[in-house]
Amino acid sequence: MQKLLLTVDKISTWLGQFSAWSIAILTLIICWEVSSRYLFNTPHDWVFDSTYMLYGVLFMMAGAYTLSKNGHVRGDVLYGFFTPRTQASLDLILYFIFFIPGIVALVYAGLEFSMISLAINEHTTQTANGPPIWPFKFIIPIAGALLLLQGCAEIIRCVICIKTGDWPKREHDVEEVDVDKLKAMVSHDDEKKGA
């Protein structure tokens, strides 16, 4: 079961990291447009549309990645004092009450929304000759499906934790800097130098 959970985590991580490249593309497009506009006096209408679509890709695809890293915001002030079993029980209840219905609705509505956009060959309306927007609207149901897949893995983690009393391991990724750990490491290094 742990292998399955880590496989889902790896899929979410890989797709999240791949989607993060939209920031690099976004940065290049904006730099190119600023140079084109101010140095050569040749602005392009489609750049604005492209930039908000690329940002949307990043935003939507980050959901499953963040969930796989347990990085979504929660009331950690109280939650952190609970035992792992209590945390898992609370998470499990909230997944079934809020997460699953919300994400299923997102996938369903997003698929219908993107299919209508494809059927009418929708283009952006911000500019006269805006780029097609329907390919980017398909990101909504895709991101929702990935989030639903990761949510199912999190539900399995909750059930395992309720049974065993410990959270199953997650795939290792970049960790936030813990100031207290950093201070302890620095003071530990100072003690070694003084000895």
Per-residue pLDDT of 122-136, as tens digits, reads 888 777 777 888 888
Task: Classify residue 131 as exposed, middle or buried by CB count within 10 Å of its CB (0-12, 13-18, 19+).
Answer: middle
The string of DSSP codes covering 121-186 is T-B-SSSTTPPB-HHHHTHHHHHHHHHHHHHHHHHHHHHHHHHHSSPPP---------HHHHHHHH
The reported pLDDT for the residue numbered 175 is 53
Residue showing tokens 């698929």: 111
How far is the CA of 166 from the CAs of 23, 91, 93, 119, 160, in angstroms? 37, 14, 18, 49, 8
How do residues 34-60 score in pLDDT, each as one tens digit?
999 888 888 887 888 888 888 888 888
How do residues 83-107 score in pLDDT, each as one tens digit?
999 999 999 999 999 999 999 999 9
The reported pLDDT for the residue numbered 95 is 94
Amino acid letter at 42? Answer: T
Handedness of CA 177, 182, 184, 189 (dihedral sign): positive
In terms of pTM, does the model score above 0.85?
A: no
Residue showing tokens 């959270």: 167
Q: 65-76 b/e with 16+ CB inside 10 Å = b?
A: bbbbbeeeeeee
Structural domain range at position 138: 2-194
Q: How many Cβ atoms sit within 10 Å of the Cβ of residue 14?
A: 11
pLDDT exceeds cutoff 60 at 159: yes
Average pLDDT over residues 109-119: 94
SS3 44: coil
Instruction: Specify the number of domains making up the chain.
Output: 1
Q: How many Cβ atoms sit within 10 Å of the Cβ of residue 89?
A: 16
